[in-house]
Amino acid sequence: MKANGFDYLKKITAVDYIQYLEVIYIIYNLSARKEEIVKVRLDAQDPGIDTVIHVFKAADWYERELSEMFGIKIIGRDAPRLLLEEWNGIDPPLRKSFAWGKDYRKTGGS
């Protein structure tokens, strides 16, 4: 897509459909003023997708958000720290299986 002039990453997000997850990339061709949406279906039990940070630097925070909020493994990169410092980093809060009301803050010296 980048070779075809789509040079701007507007957004990466995900949707939990319970049986599977879907990662959605919204990319834009600035000179042609065209937008494309690319969707990738992932296994809900072990979701993982390759990083696109080498193509779009703007993917950095979006990929960290996918990892933390949806539990999607971003293959080819490591996030230096959690975006939400008070969160335990284990249970993804934007998954439909998330147990609301549970205390997810870090405990102890971690």
The pLDDT of residue 59 is above 70: yes
The overall average pLDDT reported for the chain is 86
Q: How would you classify the pairing of strands 20-29 and 34-43?
A: antiparallel
Q: What is the pLDDT of residue 88?
A: 63
CB 42, CB 67: distance < 8 Å? no
**Is residue 85 domain-resident?**
no
Return the top range by mean pLDDT from 24-28, 55-59, 65-69, 86-90: 24-28
Q: Which secondary structure element, helix H or strand E, spans residue 82, and what is its range?
A: none
**Is residue 91 domain-resident?**
no
**Is residue 105 domain-resident?**
no
**Is residue 80 domain-resident?**
no
**Is residue 99 domain-resident?**
no
- Residue 71 sits in a domain whose CATH number is 3.30.460.80
Flag the least confident range among 33-37, 38-42, 56-60, 77-81: 77-81
**Is residue 10 domain-resident?**
yes
**Is residue 88 domain-resident?**
no
Structure token digits, residue 71: 């539990």
**Is residue 13 domain-resident?**
yes
Number of structural domains, the chain? 1
Expressed as residue numbers, the domain containing 71 is 2-75
pTM of the model as a whole: 0.83
